[in-house]
Amino acid sequence: MSVSDTGRRRRWTDDEKLRIIEESYRDGALLSEVARRHEVSRSQLYDWRYRHKHGLLGSAPQFLRVLPLEDASDGSDDKPAPPAPVLTIDLGARCRVTIPSGFDMEAAARLINSLTVRS
């Protein structure tokens, strides 16, 4: 019988990630060499750089833009009732969450937290 070590996941602090990202942008630096020196894959370093570029990496709190949709009703009685109000939360260029009225706000908060927490 043999036992092999499958390794473990490394956990990088945001400061460590930022230091490695900054190193990868220095003049003459090759991304593959920086990744190898820090024992991360090139794809991981590309991901960190993407997240940093789009403000998704860092320990500073991020503020979300909340966009409530306006009620389209003009007050006249002969028109059908407007759709229930919704709340749209813009999480950046690639993600927007729309929450209908009456939705469980605790469930919505869990969803938003899971979308905004990044490794």
Q: Rounded distance, CA 18 to CA 56, Å?
A: 12
Q: What are phi and psi of 114, to 5 degrees?
A: -70, -30
Q: Rounded distance, CA 43 to CA 59, Å?
A: 22
Q: Rounded distance, CA 87 to CA 78, Å?
A: 26
For the chain, what are the domain ranges? 14-53, 65-116
Range scoring the smallest mean pLDDT among 21-25, 42-46, 91-95: 91-95
Q: In whole angstroms, what separates CA 87 from the centre of its chain?
A: 19
Predicted structure pTM score: 0.45
pLDDT in tens, 78-111: 666 666 667 887 777 667 778 887 888 888 877 7
